[in-house]
Amino acid sequence: MNTPTPTPLIEFRGVSKTYGQGQAAFLALRGIHLGIRQGEFLAIMGPSGSGKSTAMNILGCLDAPSEGEFTFQGVHVERLGRNQRALLRRHYLGFVFQGFNLLARTSAQENVELPLLYRGESAPKRHAAAREALARVGLSGWERHTPAELSGGQQQRVAIARAIVTQPLVLLADEPTGNLDSHRSHEIMELLVTLNREQGITVLMVTHEPDMAGYASRVVHFVDGEIARDDLQENRACS
């Protein structure tokens, strides 16, 4: 079972984000302080416009803070250029989205191989890693199926396999159950808990659903660009 380490893997120190200028300026984040330890399962919640998506974009190195410090393994990400942030994403982060974002006419295995293709890995290595990732999400035997031949839950499993095929330190999940029914949603959450506990992957998840947040070990609530609550909780065991 994975035990979080005490030193933050990721840290925000006084992070603010402003969009626009002058009278049109909008302060999306207001001096956020947040530390995330390796091995945590963190859920981020909040109403629309609360800043949770902005925080997630910065955590995923898709955006940069306007002010403050953002460190990843002690590296000041706010000082990195766009290409350096892209390298950090490629080697340390995996992403799962609400809409799956799979290539429609491409097999499950080929979809999972894409991040490795961008890395320049050889075909034999890509094939082996993709099969292993699909097995980890319970899809052995489904390698040749296209998204149209898979259920919504299976498509999200393929998307998770694609996110973990590079063996990332951090998995960022943006409303990962938003397009799934209740049964499939709980299956996906149990899979994320398993990856967190058994593989040691740090999971950062944005969700509107309290039931889904209940699987996390910690829930951070954003309101008006600030952290309103930061609660530790016992995450649910996989059934």
196's torsion region: left (phi>0), alpha (psi -120 to 50) or beta?
Answer: alpha
User: With pLDDT > 70 as the criterion, what percentage of the chain qualifies?
Assistant: 95
| Residue found under tokens 């319970």 | 138
Find, among 96, 137, 141, the residue nearest to 115 by Cα: 96
Angle at 149 between CA 190 and CA 158, to 5 degrees: 35
Confidence of residue 19 (pLDDT cuts 50, 70, 90): very high
* Residues 109-161: tens digit of each pLDDT: 999 999 999 889 999 999 999 999 999 999 999 999 999 999 999 999 999 99
Please give, one letter per residue, the 3-state secondary structure of 2-67: CCCCCCEEEEEEEEEEEECCHHHCEEEEEEEEEEEECCCEEEEECCCCCCHHHHHHHHCCCCCCCE
What's the pLDDT band for 237 if we cut at 50, 70, 90? Answer: very low
Residue with tokens 């396999």: 161
Residue pair 78/137 in contact by the 8 Å Cβ criterion: no
Q: Is the pLDDT of residue 210 over 70?
A: yes
Q: Quick check: 59 pLDDT over 90?
A: yes
Q: Note the pLDDT of residue 235.
A: 57
Tell me the pLDDT band of 236, cut-offs 50, 70 and 90.
low
Q: How many CB atoms lie within 10 A of CB 23?
A: 5
Summary mean pLDDT of the chain: 93
Mean pLDDT across the stretch 20-38? 94
How confident is the model over 58-79, as a mean pLDDT? 96
pLDDT tens, residue by residue, 181-190 = 999 999 999 9
Rounded mean pLDDT, 192-206: 96
pLDDT at position 192 is 97
Question: In DSSP terms, which residues pair with 29 in a beta bridge?
Answer: 17
Contact 235, 41 (CB under 8 A): yes
Can you name the CATH fold of 8-232? Answer: Rossmann fold (3.40.50)
| Strand 226-232 relative to strand 218-223, pairing | antiparallel
Which residue in 148, 39, 174, 191 sits closest to 96, CA to CA? 174
Read off the tokens for 233: 């909780």
Whether residue 142 contacts residue 151, with contact meaning beta carbons closer than 8 Å, is answered with: no
pLDDT in tens, 80-106: 999 999 999 989 999 999 899 999 999
